[in-house]
Amino acid sequence: MIKVKDKQIILETGKKCTVSGEWELQGPVSTIVYVSKGQPMPDYCGSKVKWILIDNG
């Protein structure tokens, strides 16, 4: 898992993506999406969720 200064990068739906890469849905469902830096973080099935950066690039 990618960590910045020993902290995970977690962003919520609608927040601007700070690091391009693969993001995994936080919760019981395992979904991975690629989001480019500057793009808004997506929702999941119409719901606001939290995303964790798992691989940057």
Q: Name the residue range of residue 45's domain.
A: 3-56
Tokens of 19: 């690091």
Task: List, for residues 13-25, the tens digit of each pLDDT value.
Answer: 999 999 999 999 9
Task: List, for residues 4-55, the tens digit of each pLDDT value.
Answer: 545 789 999 999 999 999 999 998 888 999 999 999 999 999 999 999 999 9
Residues in a beta bridge with 4: 7
Q: What is the pTM of this model?
A: 0.84
DSSP state string for 22-50: EEEESSSS--EEEE-TTSBPP-BTTB--E
Domain count, the chain: 1
